Every structure is written in C-alpha cells, then in structure tokens.
Amino acid sequence: MTLVKQARKGILTSLLKKVAAEEKIYPDELLSLLANGRVVIPYNKRHRSVRPVAIGQKMRTKVNVNLGTSRDYPDLQNEIAKLKLSLKYQADAVMDLSTGGDIKSIRKRLLSISTVPLGTVPIYQAAIEAIEKRGSIVAMTEDDLFETIKAQAEEGVDFMTVHCGLTLKAVDRLKKQGRMADIVSRGGAFHLAWMLHHQKENPLYANFDRLLNLAQKHDVTLSLGDGLRPGAIFDATDRPQIEELLTLGELVKMARQAGVQVMVEGPGHVPLDQIVMNVRLEKRICEQAPFYVLGPLVTDIAPGYDHIVSAIGGAIAASAGADFLCYVTPAEHLGLPSLDDVKDGLMAARIAGHAADIVKGIPGAIDRDHELSRARKKLNWENQRKLAIDPIKFVEIRKRRKSKTKACSMCGEFCAMKIVSEFLNGEADDSCL
C-alpha cells in the first residue's frame, strides 16, 4: 500500500510521526496534507538508507542538488564527491542526471551512498541506450522507456522527472508561438525529437495509466517535468508553457485518483514581476500540488553568477508558495559544475529557501535569526558560528582578517555594537574603545 493510500485510511505510521516532528507539525495535519496531495514524501522502500523528507504546503522549503556525469566528464568519483559534499551542506534531495559512462552503475553507487531522496530523469538513460544500441535517440521504443522506468523504480529511485505534458498539441502551440529559446529542457528535447520523427503522441502522456501503475507498485513519486519551461525571460508565461501546465493539472488529478504521489515542475527563466503569478497559476491549475522550481532565473545576462540569479528568483517563488527549489550553480549555461560550484549553488538555494520560510511563517524558521542577532549584539563569536548557515566559511573569513579587538576587523575599536552596549546598556568592556 502506498503512503498516500495509507494516509487516506488514516494510518499514522512511524515514518509520518518522524517527519511531522521534524517539520514541527501535528501528525494528523501531515496525514491530511499527504492524503489530499498537498504534500509528498518521496520514499522508495528499496532505498534503505534514505531519510524521508516532506515537500509541500506548510513544510520547510526543500532544496535539491543535481549531480551526474556527462560524456565529456564521465568520472564517477567526482560525482560521489559532489554527493558527499551535498550531504555535508544539508541538501534535502539529489538528482542523478548522468549521461556519460556506465549510467546504471553510477546510479546504483549514488543510491547506496545517498541518505536523502534520490531522483532521476529516466528518458536520459533510455535515450542514451537507444543511441548506443540503435544509433539514435529516435530509435528508442516506448517499451524501452517504460522498462527503464521500471528498472530504476526497482533499484530504489525515490522520485522521477517525467515529461508527460509535452504533447503534440503543445508542440503545435510551440511552432505557432515563435519562441526566442524554443526548448531548453534536455528531456523535453528528447521527447520532441521522438514525437516529430514518429509523428506519434508522447508515450508518457498516451500511456499515462501504464506509468501510474509502475509508480503505484513501487511508491515512486512522480515529478511532472516542464519540457516547455522558458529558457529566456522573453519566453516566460507564454502560450506553450501554459498549454503544458494545463495538461499537467489534468495529470495531477489522475495521479491522485490512482494513489500516486505527484508534484509539478516549473520555470525556468522568469522576470521578477511574473514569478508570483507563475506560482499562483501552478497552485490553481494543479490543485495545490507541490511546486518544484528551477530558479526561477530572473535575468539571462549573468553566466558565472547564475546561482545568485536563481536565489533571487527562488526566494520570491518560495515566499509565494513554491515548495521545492532546484539549485543552480555558477556553472549553469557554461559547463559541468565543480565541487566549489555545487557548494555555492546549494548554499545560495538554502539561503533563498530559509528567507522564504520566514515569510511563510514556517515554525522555528525565524528563531535561528533571532538567536544569531542576540549573539551578534553580544559579540559572541562562538554562538554566531554555531548558528551560521555555513559555519565553515564563517571560521575561514574570521581567520583571514583577524582583529586586534573583540570585534571583527571591519570596525575594530569603532564597533557599533560595543559602543552602543556601553553607553546605552552599560555592558561593554574596554577592549573596543
């Protein structure tokens, strides 16, 4: 029985009790949110080491890290190092997007290490294997794709991105639109090529019941991919994007009826003034399904700094109701990310998520800010370090620029906190005056 079906029967499992405690929410409330599809808990029982994570309404904003090899850089050890770094810096989930090397072995190895939910995009493996076996992506059969989904579910994959909303109707809409960036989704591009070559409907849409049966059997959470997400701010909130979103809303309803956990993926490159509208559209059209957003990226001109661009958009999106942020690294649009890129992208997304949680009133979110502010006022550097979102970097910067006083080297003897404390509260010593 799936987690959803258990929830609908009112079965309060130890897993749900644990998650509720972590989220500081009553277990019965979590049970209700899971039952009606407003929360998902990606959790495949075959992934034995996984720590369940709740994504959705009233939950802390979660952050995903994308990992995976490319044909240019197929090194598994590098991706293992990225995974371990992501766990160290508290990613809530990871996705293996490998397209180079032994994809199956890479995924199995990452699954064995990951203690957080691990997701995949099955079309990647199916397409790459079609190239290797038959010479081209379009040589992939429908059975190839579904067998790949089945195999990954049996291995323990917790959630899968499936581009079910990229239909022939949506492709026709795309042709008429005249986009600046057309399709930037790799999975979406694979599906488009196959559909146009065969002049057939997207197999994941045409056989959605078959997909639901597989997801239900293995309790895999479906993440409905946005194959038509805008890849340039000029294309944001256009007709192809909305066409796909309307289809995803219908598929959400079908998934819920089948007792399958489902969330929806969203844009993409979106200017600041359209982000809130996009979140509200998804929540309305997809009946409050958890919203998983890439960024959004609010400008197109910042390669090398796209983790900042994404954090700006992510904070706004999450504060408006988005539930799950996919990190973006400085290497986005430029190359496969390094270890430093992974850390920078993850920390930027975590900061964005936390800032949004303060606005959303997530229990306990603002408490840490208050405690750090109190420690800052008292110049209690040890407590500041413990409360910092990145205590390692905190120490590195402190060591790099030491002060001759109790204050930091920015103000030294002219520290406002020390001066005000002495004259306003009579608490300061002479070390800074």
Give yes or no for residue 433 having a pLDDT over 60.
no
Our measurement of the distance from residue 414's CA atom to the centroid of its chain's CA atoms, rounded to an integer in Å, reads: 43
| Contact call for residues 129 and 145 (beta carbons, < 8 A) | no
Give 190-237 pLDDT, tens digit per residue: 999 999 999 999 999 999 999 999 999 999 999 999 999 999 999 999
Give 139-164 pLDDT, tens digit per residue: 999 999 999 999 999 999 999 999 99
Give 76-108 pLDDT, tens digit per residue: 999 999 999 999 999 999 999 999 999 999 999
Give yes or no for residue 65 having a pLDDT over 70.
yes
Q: Which domains does the chain have, with CATH numbers?
A: 37-360 (3.20.20.540), 367-400 (no CATH), 402-433 (no CATH)
Give yes or no for residue 426 having a pLDDT over 80.
no
The Cα 272–Cα 29 span in angstroms is 33
pTM of the model: 0.95
* CA dihedral of residues 65, 66, 67, 71 (deg, nearest 10): -160
The Cα 110–Cα 126 span in angstroms is 19
